Amino acid sequence: MPTYKFDRFDRRILEALQTNGRLPNIDLAGDIGLSPSPCSRRVRLLEESGVIKGYSAVLDQEHVGLGLTVFVGIKVERHREKEAEAFREAVSVLPEVVMAHLVSGESDFLLQVVVPDLRAYEDFLTGTLLKLPGVRDIRSNFAIQTVKPQSPLPLAHLPG
């Protein structure tokens, strides 16, 4: 379903649930100015249509012992499609890789990697990343400070 006819209620639901995914329906309904029944219906429709892909607990990285975030740029050899797909598959199953994109520019791939510390990153880099097939170059950019943590998507372009 590529399109979805949003109105201002849907937009406010999405904004509220991005900020608090466990907001009780009764509170959500009150916040957006709707009674619980239609609010619940809308949320279900948004879930079933795939607009809401799921819900997630947001953890404090430091608290769970994950002190190091690294943004990794990877250049690869020119691949045939079959090899390229194998590379993407290999990257996407690595737990330490919490996000990965094919990008334009200097690197071919940009990965966000999360590990406990520098020692763990060293192991991951030499033991895993550098052994991926077709890797030509890896550039590691270490996060020194979080300026803005992962935040809600901007929905200002939707009706409302």
Under rule CB under 8 A, residue 26 binds a copy of itself: no
CA distance 75 to 134: 9
**How many chain residues are in contact with a copy of itself, going by CB under 8 A?**
73
Q: Helix, strand or coil for residue 72?
A: strand
Under rule CB under 7 A, residue 38 binds DNA: yes
Q: Helix, strand or coil for residue 15?
A: helix
User: Looking at 17, 29, 32, 125, which residue binds a copy of itself (CB under 8 A)?
Assistant: 17
Output the smallest distance, CB 158 to DNA, in A: 15
Give the sign of the dihedral formed by CA 100, CA 51, CA 159, CA 56. negative
Output the smallest distance, CB 115 to a copy of itself, in A: 8
Output the smallest distance, CB 147 to DNA, in A: 33
CA distance 154 to 157: 8
64 is in the binding site of which of DNA, a copy of itself, none (Cβ under 5 to 8 A by kind)?
a copy of itself
Q: Report the C-alpha dihedral over residues 107, 83, 113, 142, rounded to 10 degrees.
A: -30
User: Looking at 26, 99, 118, 130, which residue binds a copy of itself (CB under 8 A)?
Assistant: 99
Under rule CB under 8 A, residue 137 binds a copy of itself: no
Residue 121 near residue 68 (C-beta atoms within 8 A): yes
Q: Write out the two tokens for 141.
A: 């950019």
Part in contact with DNA (CB under 7 A); list of ranges 23-31, 54-62, 71-79, 80-88: 23-31
User: Looking at 9, 45, 88, 128, which residue binds a copy of itself (CB under 8 A)?
Assistant: 88
Q: Write out the two tokens for 64.
A: 């769970």
User: Looking at 79, 83, 158, 160, which residue binds a copy of itself (CB under 8 A)?
Assistant: 158
Q: H/E element holding 7? A: none
